[in-house]
Amino acid sequence: MKPINLKEKHELFDAKWHPHQIATVDDMQVILAKISGEFVWHAHENEDELFQVLKGTLYMQFRDRTERVNEGEIIVVPKGVEHCPSTKNGEEVHLLLFEKQHTAHTGNVEHEMTRKTYPKI
């Protein structure tokens, strides 16, 4: 029941593509991530996933198109939809995500970028 400053939390870690948990809301979690470059194509069979861009520009790739998501915007990826978050020109983009606490990082895909646990900060 204390305010959580998103910028200050983002300053606590440098690793890209490694979500850090800052809060839970019922069975959901709020996680922060720094991303740069391209992630892994994957889908979450049973969970929606919300992305909020706090800094920079997210390019959310779907199989049929790419959506540009600017700072101050959100996008919800519905369950079952293949997606691949990315940034352009090596930009470091800061994200906040809302998703189920049990949502797997790369969904149905096992990859060297896959993180099994998210540090709590």
Name the site residues for its own copies (rule: CB under 8 A).
1-7, 22-26, 28, 30, 47-50, 62, 67-70, 72-79, 81, 98-100
Nearby residues of 66 by Cβ (< 8 Å), 6 or more positions away? 59, 60
The residue among 11 and 112 lying less far from its own copies, judged by its C-beta, is 11
CB of residue 96 vs its own copies: minimum separation in angstroms? 8
Q: Give the residues across from 83 on adjacent strands.
A: 42, 62
CB of residue 80 vs its own copies: minimum separation in angstroms? 12
DSSP state of 8: H
CB of residue 32 vs its own copies: minimum separation in angstroms? 11
The residue among 6 and 40 lying less far from its own copies, judged by its C-beta, is 6
Nearby residues of 112 by Cβ (< 8 Å), 6 or more positions away? none
The residue among 36 and 101 lying less far from its own copies, judged by its C-beta, is 101
Best CA proximity match to 107, nearest among 21, 47, 17, 42: 42
CA distance linking residue 18 with residue 42, whole number of Å: 16
CB of residue 112 vs its own copies: minimum separation in angstroms? 27
